[in-house]
Amino acid sequence: MKFGLLRILTIILSFFFLTGFVPILSFVGPGVTALTSGNIYKASAQYIINQRIEKETGKNSLTLIKETLAEETDKNIKKNSFDDDLRQLVETRLKMTRQKLDNQNLQKLLKKRIEVTKSILDLNNTTQ
């Protein structure tokens, strides 16, 4: 008797899992909620929401949340990449501008020294 019941139960369970009949798992979550919390309303609301999400998107709620988080992560990575590229561009431009300003200041200083040297040499020439 027990062997026959075990055999029938094994055949039924293998039918569910081997044929891809997964919608039975959608009853497991709300069933566990109903059993653990004793709140039938909460379990039925969970089941209805999951069914509605699946009907609207074609995905179960876990897959939908996973994909949404993956998209957000990708957006953040792209944003950070853009920020890094922009920062490098600005730093490069700042270095170039500083170098140009230093060269201009050096040229002005050099011209001034030349003028001072000329004026000193002219003064020395006039006194001799």
The model's pLDDT over 3-35, given as tens digits with 9 standing for 90+, comes to 888 888 888 777 767 766 556 666 666 666 667
Residue 94 tokens read as 């700042």
Task: Note the pLDDT of residue 96.
Answer: 92
Q: For residue 35, what are the domain limits?
A: 1-58
Q: Is residue 101 domain-resident? A: no
| Side chain identity at residue 3, one-letter code | F
pLDDT of 105 higher than 70: yes
CA atoms within 13 A on the CB side of 117: 6
Q: Is residue 78 domain-resident? A: no
| The total number of structural domains that make up the chain | 1
Q: Is residue 128 domain-resident? A: no
Of all residues in the chain, what percent carry a pLDDT higher than 70? 77
Q: Is residue 113 domain-resident? A: no
Query: Measured on CA atoms in the order 78, 79, 84, 87, is the torsion positive or negative?
Result: positive
pTM comes to 0.33
